[in-house]
Amino acid sequence: MKPVAIFRHSPGEGPGYFATFLDKHSIPWQLFKLDEGEAPPTSVNDYSGLCFMGGHMSVNDDLPWIPPVLELIRNAVAQDIPVIGHCLGGQLMSKALGGVVGLNPVKEIGWGKVRVLDDAWLPGTTEFLSYHWHGETFTIPEGATRILESEYCGNQAFALGPHLGLQCHVEMTETMVKNWTTGGAKEIERAGDIPSVQKQPQQLEDLQAKLAELSAIADRLYSKWITNLKH
């Protein structure tokens, strides 16, 4: 099978549990470290699917890698090569497909319930606990279906055929949560005491149990996504 191309935009926001899932299913993958200046591929033909991770930047920033990445997403969708995006990755997908990315009403940081609006990707599930870290959000591209929402962000995910754009972070690992809460301590402090932003102790409470639940949800989402990978 051709490898899945994974795009990293920040050193601390790598593939996480997504890579663990691919390894468990013997699916090859190739990491593109855009944060280190690696250029994205110019063609999607060598890959079975594309995966875009998170990042601290905005998709509206003037960064040299954003235009070619948007074009890559459009080409993959045109050829039915599955695309999945996590947070910034979902925002890149939305923008590439004609959506708009702008400020969310509030910052959403930490653990919070996500409601399932369309269970095609999560049959029998009405809600689950997910991890969040974002200040911006996307609109739903034309032709896509809004499938998840949370109390603080109406558009938590959209599906378009085999493609899945996520605002929430289902790819989290213990190391990632601990590193983010430490590295992002000032951002948490600046947000003040608002209900949509959890302090570090809250985020680390019962961490193993929360991650186990989240990884079980990720398994189901990723399992559906890989069924359409190109061989």
pLDDT per residue over 116-130, tens digit each? Answer: 999 999 999 999 999
Q: What is the mean pLDDT of residues 134-151?
A: 98
Q: Residue 25: inside a domain, yes or no?
A: yes
For residue 75, give the H/E element and its range. helix 66-78
| Structure confidence at residue 17 as a pLDDT band (50, 70, 90) | very high
Domain with residue 121: its CATH number is 3.40.50.880
Span 172-205, pLDDT tens digits: 999 999 999 999 999 999 999 999 999 999 999 9
How many domains are contained in the chain? 1
Asked if 122 and 223 count as a contact pair (C-beta separation under 8 A), the reply is: no
Coil, strand or helix at 112: strand
- Taking the CB of residue 1, how many other CB atoms lie within 10 A of it? 12
pTM over 0.85: yes
Span 41-85, pLDDT tens digits: 999 999 999 999 999 999 999 999 999 999 999 999 999 999 999
Q: Residue 188: inside a domain, yes or no?
A: yes
pLDDT over 70 percentage in the chain:
100
Q: Residue 231: pLDDT above 90?
A: no
Q: Residue 231: inside a domain, yes or no?
A: no
DSSP assigned state of 150: E
Sheet strand arrangement including 145-150: 29-33, 4-8, 49-52, 83-86, 163-166, 157-160, 145-150, 101-116, 127-138
Q: Residue 83: inside a domain, yes or no?
A: yes
Asked if 103 and 70 count as a contact pair (C-beta separation under 8 A), the reply is: no
Residue-number span of the structural domain to which 10 is assigned:
4-226
| Cβ contacts of 78 within 8 Å, gap of 6 or more | none
Q: Residue 126: inside a domain, yes or no?
A: yes
Residue type, 120: A
Q: Is 186 exposed, middle or buried (CB count within 10 Å of its CB: 0-12, 13-18, 19+)?
A: exposed
Q: What is the mean pLDDT of residues 131-145?
A: 98
Q: Residue 23: inside a domain, yes or no?
A: yes
Span 18-43, pLDDT tens digits: 999 999 999 999 999 999 999 999 99
